[in-house]
Amino acid sequence: MKKSTDKPKKRIGGKTALVILVILLVYIAAVTLAALVIDGRHVRFYMTAPQEMNLECFEAYQEPGIYAVTTGKLFGEGKKHLHVDVSSDLDNTRLGEYTVKYTVRYLLQDYSTERRVQVVDTVAPVLELKYVEGYQASWFTGYEEEGYTATDNYDGDLTDKVESYEEENRKVYTVTDSSGNTTTMVREPLYIYTEPEITLYGDSELYVNASLSFEDPGYYAQDKMGNDMTGFVQVSGQVCPYRAGDYEITYYIESPTGDSVSAQRTVHVLPIRNPDTVTPDSKTIYLTFDDGPGPYTGRLLDVLAKYNAKATFFVTGANPKYYDQIGRAYNEGHAVGVHTYSHNYRSIYSSEEAFFQDFNAVQDLICDQTGSYTKICRFPGGSSNTVSNFNPGIMTSLAGALTDLGYQYFDWNVSSGDAGETTDTDTVAENIINGCAGRKASVVLQHDIKDYSVNAVEQVLIWGINNGYVFRALDASSPNAHHGINN
């Protein structure tokens, strides 16, 4: 049998094969790593929406889309989408800018990118107008707010931020939230335009004689719906009834919206013509007595009656106990004139209104006692007084007013001296006699509240009668003996 001459083949052991495999893998890895290094392999992100975006507040964030792939210079872009981790601090309940971060782990390295999300409020507030059932505004009453509410999805209740204004019979409301979103609403028509009309009773141009009072003929007002609006009429302008002149009175209604309607009346106050002064045809003495009636007035009237002499009493309201003497004097043919009710200079001459309030009180007293008003008067202190100087011009004004009213005011040209110069009866009589001697018309000043002055009257009467004098009462045509006005 022939022996084989071939040597048996040697087998590679298991360990050797493993070493070779490892070497091969290392080589492949080295080649691959070298290729990747040369390729510059990295991660690229693709966003399917803009990198900066807005999100309405309270709206849930929905990821708009992103994916990542690898890319390099040698092998280009891979087709496989990598896993992307998403993280964010976004709070959709608060306005502001937030970041959404995307991260990919590749070859032991983290790659990331960001999307900026602005949480915004672009929704305007909700403005609701309230309406009161049956409410209806008019031209005069204007519009009374019925109410409104305003709410915002972000700011909440904005009712107190509502601003409004009226224009052309409508009301405009606006409200703006903290993001600048504005809502505007209009309420119209705001009210029914029924402008009233004022109608005057009597003529729109009146002519009246000067008097102590003026009564307006009146007016009424009505809107176009027939509603009586007389109670809403206001009046401006005044008539001074005791001073001649032209006066304008305006009657008007003004609405809360600033509209107005009006009517005018002109009142012409005409002066009353005084009778012409008549100079007596014989020597005349006009005895005048101020400040009564008083406790000696009755005795004075007895003396005057004894000699059939007439006198004039410028009365006051100081002594109610003796008011009846006013009526007696009048009924016995004497003249009664206004002096003053209070004789309080500071009050009487404080204003025209105060003077005539006092004046009218005496007139009413005289009318109560005599049945008629008088047209003669004497200023407290006389027209030339200086006690009224605290109110400059008051005497000039009052003298003009009384003249316009048809009154005749009397001063005097003979003084008895009983107003402080003397308390002696014979001296009073002598002063009067000396003052009257040689005069055609004498207006004598005395006071019947002073007994020594009343006691002198009989002497004067006897002297006057013996010397051809007549004792008369004053009337509107008598010589007035005016003094020069000092104020």
Euclidean distance between CA atoms 41 and 36, whole angstroms: 6
Where in 139-283 does DSSP place strands (E)? Answer: 148-152, 156-157, 163-167, 170-176, 182-187, 197-200, 205-209, 219-222, 234-236, 245-254, 260-270
* Number of Cα atoms under 13 Å in the Cβ half of residue 1: 2
* Number of Cα atoms under 13 Å in the Cβ half of residue 234: 7
Q: Mark whether 343 is an active-site residue.
A: no
Q: Cα dist. 407→317, 374, 376, 398 in Å?
A: 20, 8, 6, 11
Instruction: Tell me which of 121, 152, 223, 290 is the catalytic residue.
Output: 290
CB 323 within 8 A of CB 302: no
CB 445 within 8 A of CB 474: no
**What are the phi and psi torsion angles at 326 (to 5°)?**
-65, -50
Strands laid side by side in the 66-72 sheet: 42-47, 66-72, 76-77
Euclidean distance between CA atoms 378 and 292, whole angstroms: 13
Closest by Cα among 280, 312, 308, 285 to 429 = 285
**At a CB cut-off of 8 Å and minimum separation 6, what does 19 contact?**
none
In DSSP notation, 77-123 reads E-SSPBP-EEEE---TTS-EEEEEEEEEEETTEEEEEEEEEEEE--P
Q: Mark whether 81 is an active-site residue.
A: no
Distance of CA 79 to the CA centre of its chain: 84
**At a CB cut-off of 8 Å and minimum separation 6, what does 35 contact?**
74, 75
Euclidean distance between CA atoms 139 and 132, whole angstroms: 18
Q: Is 153 helix (H, G, I), strand (E, B) or coil?
A: coil
In DSSP notation, 340-375 reads ESS--HHHHTT-HHHHHHHHHHHHHHHHHHHSS--S
Active site residues: 290, 447
